[in-house]
Amino acid sequence: MRHIDEFSRPEEYISPFDAHFRRLIRSHLEESVMPVRRRFDEDWKEHRLIEPAFDRLMAGLGIQRALFPVEYGGWGLARSDYVFRMGYMLCEELGRADTGMAVAVAVTFWPLLTILVEPYVNERLIAEFAPMFCNADHAVFAANAMTEPQGGSDIENLGLLGGRTIRTTARLEGDRWVINGHKLWPTNSGGVAKLFGVPCTTKPGSSDPADFAFIFVPADTPGVTQGGPYEKAGMAADKNGDIWFEDVRVPSWYRAHGPGRDAEAFYQLIPFGQVMSCAFLTGAMMNLYERLVEFVNTHTFAGRPLKEHDAVAAVIGRIAGDIDICRILGHEAAMIGDRRNKPYGRPLASEQVVGRVRNIKDFISDTAIRCFETAMDVLGAYGADRQWDIEKHWRDIKIVQLWMGGKQLCQMEAARYFFDCETL
């Protein structure tokens, strides 16, 4: 039987840390997560099974410390030239085990990138928040409190809207920001996150980047209220709910950078989210391959293994080819993100990077969903059987396709860059 590591990836792109880190993470997930992941769906609300799994992964292995500088007890990976590629590797392995866990871990890093990665570093905020993650003996989560009920993906559509639809407001009173607003669906909401990164406007209706503010808010700040988690089709390990901010007051220096710079730092989060979404998908696809290999070797038709029939072989061969192509593309997207490396060098906060990476994510999303649907057809009635894990991944990855603006925003931003669209 071929191994999942035989699927292609550009070897010259791989981090020197990759082989050791991948073995460590994979071994942990195979022992602690994959044997119990089918029970996660029923644990979506209480996380009695999921929470200890996060504790072992994020605190026990130290994943939640990864981005912070060594002087604060972290691993210093945010200062590496391989931060996107190492993130891709981690998210791919997590996606193979459970994409809900993968997104919860990745989104903990997401808002912190606005203060940890050059050229947007805020040493004062790093010193403020590093102990929360580096000194804990349990999993600590952050959330990018972005989506609003009325606007969907409008906030991340900075290229067109420039933040003018944001209704969460921030006004400066003395040395305090006063925040009011309502956020919906952020990963690690629903009572999970200890720290929020909150996109706000200092001037409602403005599309001026100077009026976009990205402000950190600890979850226990007076005036912050979190609703319970919503039950979804999948992604049980990722809680999503409502967050209300009512006259929430935080120090003025909790703003990530200031007028103009906040918008730039926030816009670079879009490529990161899309690249890691690609990793979630290729990880799930590799596990699809593993389960499919087992099925077509152990189930027969007319006395022969399923794989030995032309009709089945053609279908599963196409699935393997699609996984191979998607994995190459995913690593290419990660390389684009690590902009300090040749041959790329464009700022993350640019339409070129956003358009190209969204294009790749849209292609991989469509391909992954098609592969899982096709595999379910090959398995027949077993395709819907939870024992084979195909239907679990299928439900989860559809949600990966939908977030961050879904197909539509991916297509619009790709068109905006490649065709110089002016009104999309």
What would the pLDDT profile of 318-375 be if each residue is shown by its tens digit?
999 999 999 999 999 999 888 655 556 667 767 788 888 999 999 999 999 999 999 9
Strand 142-144, strand 169-173: pairing: unpaired
Domain shared by 84 and 149, yes or no:
no
407 and 382 together in one domain: yes
In whole angstroms, what is the distance from residue 155 CA to residue 166 CA?
6
DSSP state of 62: -
Mean pLDDT of the region 301-309: 95
Is residue 34 within 8 A of residue 47, CB to CB? The reply is no
Residue 423: the pLDDT is 75
Say whether pLDDT at 393 is over 70: yes
Count H helices and E strands in the chain, helices first: 13, 11
End-to-end CA, the chain: 48
Please write the tens of the pLDDT for every residue from 200-223: 999 999 999 999 999 999 999 999
Task: State the pLDDT at residue 15.
Answer: 84
Give residue 5's Cα distance to chain centre: 22
φ/ψ (deg, to 5) at 405: 95, -5
Comparing 225-239, 244-258, 333-347, which segment has the lowest mean pLDDT?
333-347
Domain co-membership, 243 together with 189: yes
Instruction: Indicate if 255 and 153 belong to the same structural domain.
Output: yes
Is residue 376 classed as helix, strand or coil in its secondary structure?
A: helix
pLDDT, tens only, 172-202: 999 999 999 999 999 999 999 999 999 999 9
Pair (239, 277) in one structural domain? no
Question: Residue 247: inside a domain, yes or no?
Answer: yes
Q: What is the pLDDT of residue 137?
A: 96
CA distance 84 to 69: 16
Higher pLDDT residue, 251 or 343? 251
Pure H helices in 340-389? 351-379
The residue out of 83, 115, 140 marking a domain boundary is: 140
In a domain, 271, yes or no: yes
- What is the average pLDDT across 239-257? 98
How do beta strands 195-201 and 142-144 pair?
Answer: parallel
181: alpha, beta or left? (left if phi > 0; alpha if psi -120 to 50): left
CB 196 within 8 A of CB 219: yes
Q: How far is Cα 221 from Cα 223, in angstroms, rounded to an integer?
A: 6
Number of domains in the chain: 3
Q: What is the pLDDT of residue 412?
A: 85
Q: Tell me what pLDDT residue 251 has.
A: 98
The per-residue pLDDT for 135 is: 97
Using a pLDDT cut of 70, give the percent of the chain over it: 97
Q: Are 163 and 199 in contact (CB under 8 A)?
A: yes
Cα angle 152, 154, 158; round to 5: 155
* Residue 95 and residue 102 in contact, taking contact as beta carbons nearer than 8 Å: yes
Average per-residue pLDDT for the chain: 93
Neighbours of 338 (CB within 10 A): 21
pLDDT band at 414 (very low <50, low <70, confident <90, very high): confident
Contact, 109 vs 67, CB < 8 A? yes
Q: How far is CA 139 from CA 7, 57, 134, in A?
A: 32, 8, 10
Amino acid (one-letter) located at 186: P
Domain assignment present for 22: yes
Rounded Cα distance, 278 and 66, in Å: 20
What pLDDT is recorded for position 13? 85
Is residue 424 a part of any domain in this protein? no
Please say whether the beta carbons of 154 and 161 come within 8 A: yes
**Pair 149, 90 in one domain:** no
Backbone phi, psi, residue 181, to 5°: 165, 180
In a domain, 301, yes or no: yes
Share of the chain above pLDDT 90, in %: 81
Whether the per-residue pLDDT at 154 is higher than 80: the answer is no
Q: Of all helices (H) and strands (E), which one includes residue 244?
A: strand 240-251
pLDDT tens sequence across 157-169? 777 788 889 999 9
* Cα dihedral: 188, 163, 182, 179 (round 10): 100
Q: Is residue 423 part of a domain?
A: no
The domain in which residue 205 lies consists of 143-259
Task: For residue range 95-144, list pLDDT tens digits in order.
Answer: 999 999 999 999 999 999 999 998 899 999 999 999 999 999 999 999 99
Residue 403 and residue 292 in one domain = yes
